[in-house]
């Protein structure tokens, strides 16, 4: 899966004209998959209620039309809803005061988007993103939710787990229900280096993490392919050591060349490991025009050219044959 992520961070992100730019630019870059990511929100880290936000959540009709447009362009689609906190805490740090009430709202959200994924013909559905506090403690509820989504959605299923535990919870290795899903999804913000090193050394650092995933997968007797449901780097000097960090950086720390080097390192041997069946880059934004900002978007920066070369190469990894007809474990 040669993917990019189309994030719905405002209610207008998937309107018709922007949807056209998102799809056309993704296809032109060589992507054959897109991840469409709409968000719901909660007030604080400890809040127990989740809500749709009409200002920040793209309307269902816009998501449906974006999926239609992507399919018309020959792209396959993962629908990947997420929950964010209004207080700016990263979603993996969410710790609701009432986990049961939170998960009840989360279940409603997940059912809503599973039904939308089915109506729209999405190819792959992610049941959540970085819900670290609940992965192990609510395992029974997760398995029930997965079974419910199977009845609603006829395509493939995954879940987007964090690359590592946060505050003692979460991480892909702690998820107990991978055997109920079709793909092992990892948001792969692995730290790589604490200093500037060569592409080969960066690739070696990647291979350490990939070997760890493969060893864990074998130890759990899992045969589901691994997909990096998110991977991205800011164009900032700290991108190799803190890939997931989203805080603004000082002007002198902006570093588009390091971002491109990190893309290049991944598209070497790590990208070609057989256990890895897809990657979705965070985040694709064709409206980004500032090649000297510190955002994750590769657009207009040297990293975009690296991605294009990898995704359009004659020797790129073969297309993954996922289809809605095979939505069972």
Per the CB < 8 A criterion, the answer to whether 166 and 93 are in contact is yes
Q: What pLDDT is stored for residue 324 in this prediction?
A: 46
**Partner residues linked to 38 by β-bridges:** 8
pLDDT for position 169: 86
pLDDT at residue 242, as a whole number: 87
pTM of the model: 0.94
Torsion of CA 200, 205, 210, 212, to 10 degrees: 150
The answer, yes or no, to whether residue 329 has pLDDT greater than 60, is no
Average pLDDT over residues 119-139: 95
Structure-token pair, residue 174: 């702690």
pLDDT in tens, 175-225: 999 999 999 999 999 998 766 567 778 888 898 999 999 999 999 999 999
The HSE-up count of residue 313 (CA atoms within 13 Å, CB side) is 15
Other CB atoms within a 10 A radius of the CB of residue 168 amount to 8
pLDDT at 289: 78
- pLDDT given for residue 263 in this prediction: 95
Name which of 28-37, 206-215, 250-259 the model is least confident about.
250-259
Picking from 158, 127, 324, the residue whose alpha carbon sits closest to that of residue 225 is 158
Q: Describe the crossing of helices 256-266 and 302-312 by its angle, rounded to 10 degrees.
A: 20
Residue 80 belongs to what H/E stretch? none
Provide the mean pLDDT of the chain.
Answer: 92
31: nearest Cα among 62, 66, 77: 77
Q: What is the mean pLDDT of residues 295-322?
A: 86
Q: Is the peptide bond before 283 cis (omega within 30 degrees of 0)?
A: yes
* Over residues 226-246, mean pLDDT: 91
The reported pLDDT for the residue numbered 291 is 86
Arithmetic mean of pLDDT, 114-137: 96
Q: Give the pLDDT confidence score for residue 157 in this predicted structure.
A: 98
129: part of which helix (H) or strand (E)? strand 124-129
The rounded percent of the chain whose pLDDT value lies above 70 is 93
């Amino acid at each position: 899966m040669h993917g990019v992520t189309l994030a719905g961070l405002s209610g207008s992100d998937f309107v018709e004209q922007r949807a056209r730019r998102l799809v056309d630019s993704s296809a032109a870059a060589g992507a054959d998959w897109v991840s469409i990511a709409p968000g719901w929100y909660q007030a604080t880290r400890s809040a127990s209620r989740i809500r749709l936000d009409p200002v920040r959540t793209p309307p269902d009709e816009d998501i449906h039309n974006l999926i239609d447009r992507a399919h018309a362009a020959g792209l396959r689609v993962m629908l990947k809803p997420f929950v964010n906190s209004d207080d700016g805490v990263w979603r993996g740090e969410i710790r609701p005061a009432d986990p049961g009430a939170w998960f009840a709202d989360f279940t409603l959200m997940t059912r809503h988007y599973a039904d939308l994924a089915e109506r729209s013909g999405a190819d792959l559905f992610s049941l959540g993103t970085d819900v670290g506090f609940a992965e192990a403690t609510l395992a029974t509820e997760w398995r029930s939710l997965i079974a419910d989504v199977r009845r609603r959605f006829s395509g493939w299923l995954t879940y987007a787990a964090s690359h590592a535990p946060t505050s003692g919870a979460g991480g892909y290795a702690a998820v107990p229900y991978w055997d109920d899903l079709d793909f092992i999804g990892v948001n792969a913000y692995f730290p790589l280096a604490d200093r500037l090193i060569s592409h080969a050394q960066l690739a070696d650092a990647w291979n350490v993490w990939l070997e760890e995933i493969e060893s864990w997968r074998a130890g759990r007797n899992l045969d589901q392919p691994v997909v990096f449901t998110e991977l991205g780097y800011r164009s900032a000097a700290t991108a190799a050591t803190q890939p997931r960090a989203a805080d603004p950086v000082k002007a002198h720390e902006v570093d588009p060349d390091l971002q491109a080097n990190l893309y290049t390192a991944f598209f070497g041997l790590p990208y070609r490991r057989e256990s890895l069946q897809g990657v979705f880059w965070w985040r694709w934004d064709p409206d980004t025009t500032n090649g000297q900002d510190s955002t994750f978007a590769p657009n207009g920066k040297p990293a975009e050219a690296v991605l294009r070369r990898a995704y359009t190469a004659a020797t790129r990894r073969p297309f993954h044959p996922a289809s809605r007809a095979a939505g069972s474990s």
